[in-house]
Structure 1
């Protein structure tokens, strides 16, 4: 199973399919229309935000901005939550982690893993308190002992029960009673959720490992190191247990200075600072989170501002995770780990499958390794592929909390992935593929693929709006764009999405639908 999972990951992360070339003037038009529509829609949203600033301030209490003449929309809970904790403690504890790691690497490399484990446990205790860390240690101990039985179904049951306890009101009330502020309990909630992924990874890797005599104390030590590795502890990104252990051991054995020296540190830090500035500028210039929280404003937004709101919400989500994943990934790289790549820009995502593969790459690999491939994936026919996709998306739905709006989001993604998979199979069939190759050029097939991707992108954006804003946001967009504006708003929107898809195909040449399958058939010949 491990080799198959790695093959899936390799194909997903290294898509080298060559795109069909288009005339340079045509591509230039696509680029100009894509950038122009972004900037103009953002400008219209900015104008609307300023025109209704007083009303938004009365209803939502906009914060005083860092820039003169601007207020700050702080209604995105995740951004406000993590930036507040970063100022309070995370930045300092991450700096402490980096200092200890470098000192141990230089002086006592054999003790580095142990030192980082003790430091991570201490840092978690200082924030979550002894009771919060005790919950995590109980989960680690129970999962460790269940894993010794080498029964994957028992491991899944044990860890899913941990996940379900997060949503039992009585247990939530007990946890909240340990802290003075709701934000502290939210941090425990996030830590337990992330820890569940790590415990599942350890348990299933242990079930697959050879059943030979091994040092249980050493295994438990590695599990604690993996669990309390400080950069990834609270919010990821996700890395599998085997990858963590192999890379940490290799780093100790090599005992050489990593490429991550002062220049690398300054360069990556500057990039993260730029991303942070972009995110802050967006919530100063456009009050998208306040606007999406009021249905009246959603109903009166001009069409261009409505499009700007959709783009701003998904772009802010992208930039936010560049910062949230960027700093931990930088520190992990200094520790000679290989963290998953940062998310790819959502404006060049033109399919559901592409979004799952390229946004949270660590979580995608985790799903492939532990759910999709073990259940058959794409190697055992259509029914196994549907089952694998269903359970992978279902697990993410449960892991995110199982709320009603997540049901809608999960269903839309499930349908989107299945429809795209069906279209790929259709256009990849020998008869249709050869027919298209005889009667159309490669450039024409690419344009047809981009047109299909425009419809897919529209549904992808709609699903993301449900995820980021709730069902009411998705419902209003559906009504205003596709029902009321089917003849006025929808056609230009699809035209711009067509341009986005062409730019995405040029920038990330792993074409879906027509062109990809044509290339596969050519390779077979």
Structure 2
């Protein structure tokens, strides 16, 4: 073979590297690393997760659970106690079982109405939800739930965007009054479910009004009013979400009837089985990982070893994610069966390392709402960087108020805003020509640049995890995790940083794979 000059080889490699880097930047992707290195990241990250959770399991063996109501008898064939301390899950599971026949009736009758009396579809949505409320919480509570969308529809007739936003702020403040449902004289469990439902109805009412303001004014009509109420009280998503924007809901409702083919039935049943399986998995998980019980005994948490601490944090994330995968997944399965486009369920927390990606992919309905009705309207035609930061701040202020005004929610919101802001600053700096020159000079190859980006993203990923611990478990547990990090030994913190770095690389690799898959499907 003919010899090639060394300087030509170096020059060719440099050009090839620059082309590779340019292509990756254009596609918002990072370049590939050697397969052995990628596999090492995967193995280390998964091994770290499993080993840390094993330490949580061991901690549960010696946990006496002295707090009343933390444990109950588990499945008899497992012969282990079950952690029932998670209040949300303890409320949601019985509701999911009890509402299943109602969801079936909703879907069956809705398809008949869509086929024969399409113009009455939203009336049926309103009727079945109203009937459910009347039977379970009574007429007073049902009328109370109807008041807010009725008020919003009345205000809509003034065709003022400022008025709708002002009413939204007022109602948001009203939703933070804890005693507002005490007069209903119903058990606290029902009050709790109504408070969740009211939060979703609030967002749907805002979505309906703001979308309608963007259309031609046709004046008030009975059909529009019923459409709004049918949207606000859409039964599969009435209590546990997620949020579907009105534009998507309307498009689904107005679609013509589509016969149920074998493929459509198969898709529906497979998704029901899929999310039912995850529900059983979470129930099984609570027989071995007592993460909810640990949250209620901070004294015991302070005595956990480093690996048990890490595992407890990850387990809290798994518990939180799985609750919403199941509830959102089941609700969206029914909605998609009715041809309504819905958000995706939350992505796995073990494969996301950026704040911005977590906000995009955990609760997509909330993200779409914030982006469409708060962030984009505030930007204007030529938004500056300062305006973008202000719009982002307004979004997180809304998130804080919507999740109820508590100190742990404030800490979570502030840390999330700081994380997103740091990301924004980093991306702004990274987009400059001078930075590209320095980056290319210092790291020379796209592979090294990827390693560097994962390295500097790791502290933010750790900060993201700490902020979420406040949201999952409150101030005491959140403070304990922060204290553990700052008081941990160099060896412990270095080990934690190594495994978080591996997570960053795993997240980048999975994101690359998803983008390649999307590109092939285009």
TM-score of the aligned structures, taking structure 1 as reference length: 0.89
Which one is further off, 263-272 or 329-338? 263-272
Deviation for aligned residue 1:255: 4.0
CA distance in 2 between partners of 1:501 and 1:400 (Å) = 28
Deviation for aligned residue 1:232: 1.2
CA distance in 1 between partners of 2:238 and 2:331 (Å) = 9
- In the superposition, relative to structure 1, how do residues 255 and 291 fare at CA in structure 2: closer, same or farther (>3 Å)? closer
- In the superposition, relative to structure 1, how do residues 172 and 111 fare at CA in structure 2: closer, same or farther (>3 Å)? closer
**Counterpart of 1:221?**
226
Contact 1:116/1:225 (<8 A) preserved: yes
Which one is further off, 367-376 or 94-103? 94-103
Deviation for aligned residue 1:220: 0.6
CA distance in 1 between partners of 2:343 and 2:458 (Å) = 28
Contact 1:288/1:312 (<8 A) preserved: yes
| Cα deviation digits, residues 310-357 of structure 1 (max 9, x gap) | 000001111111101011100001101111011110111101111111
- In the superposition, relative to structure 1, how do residues 463 and 256 fare at CA in structure 2: closer, same or farther (>3 Å)? same
Alignment of 1:196-215 (within 5 A): 196-211=202-217, 213-214=218-219
Where 1:339 maps in the other structure, the secondary structure is coil
**Counterpart of 1:120?**
129
CA distance in 2 between partners of 1:121 and 1:383 (Å) = 46
CA distance in 2 between partners of 1:153 and 1:314 (Å) = 38
Deviation for aligned residue 1:492: 0.7
Deviation for aligned residue 1:223: 0.3
Q: CA RMSD in A?
A: 2.0
| Structure 2: 5+ residue stretches without partners | 1-25, 515-522
Deviation for aligned residue 1:416: 0.6
CA distance in 2 between partners of 1:80 and 1:34 (Å) = 31
- In the superposition, relative to structure 1, how do residues 375 and 486 fare at CA in structure 2: closer, same or farther (>3 Å)? farther
**Counterpart of 2:278?**
275
**Counterpart of 1:133?**
142
- In the superposition, relative to structure 1, how do residues 173 and 266 fare at CA in structure 2: closer, same or farther (>3 Å)? closer
Where 1:402 maps in the other structure, the secondary structure is coil
**Counterpart of 1:499?**
502
Contact 1:48/1:305 (<8 A) preserved: yes
CA distance in 1 between partners of 2:353 and 2:308 (Å) = 22
Where 1:92 maps in the other structure, the secondary structure is helix
Residue of structure 1 aligned with 2:386, choices 383, 388, 391: 383
The count of residues paired between Structure 1 and Structure 2 equals 487
- In the superposition, relative to structure 1, how do residues 260 and 389 fare at CA in structure 2: closer, same or farther (>3 Å)? farther
Residue of structure 2 aligned with 1:475, choices 458, 476, 479: 479
**Counterpart of 1:103?**
112
2:249 equivalent to 1:244:
yes
CA distance in 2 between partners of 1:97 and 1:378 (Å) = 44
- In the superposition, relative to structure 1, how do residues 140 and 22 fare at CA in structure 2: closer, same or farther (>3 Å)? same
Contact 1:18/1:510 (<8 A) preserved: no
Deviation for aligned residue 1:19: 2.4
**Counterpart of 1:23?**
34
CA distance in 2 between partners of 1:174 and 1:259 (Å) = 49
CA distance in 2 between partners of 1:122 and 1:244 (Å) = 22
CA distance in 1 between partners of 2:49 and 2:146 (Å) = 47
CA distance in 1 between partners of 2:143 and 2:32 (Å) = 58
2:102 equivalent to 1:93:
yes
Where 1:489 maps in the other structure, the secondary structure is helix
Contact 1:248/1:337 (<8 A) preserved: yes
CA distance in 1 between partners of 2:106 and 2:330 (Å) = 12
Alignment of 1:76-91 (within 5 A): 76-87=86-97, 89-91=98-100
CA distance in 2 between partners of 1:395 and 1:288 (Å) = 29
CA distance in 1 between partners of 2:224 and 2:382 (Å) = 33
2:56 equivalent to 1:45:
yes
CA distance in 2 between partners of 1:193 and 1:58 (Å) = 31
Which one is further off, 68-77 or 154-163? 154-163
- In the superposition, relative to structure 1, how do residues 95 and 210 fare at CA in structure 2: closer, same or farther (>3 Å)? same
**Counterpart of 1:193?**
199
Deviation for aligned residue 1:60: 4.6
- In the superposition, relative to structure 1, how do residues 263 and 233 fare at CA in structure 2: closer, same or farther (>3 Å)? same
TM-score of the aligned structures, taking structure 2 as reference length: 0.89
Contact 1:260/1:334 (<8 A) preserved: no
Where 2:339 maps in the other structure, the secondary structure is coil
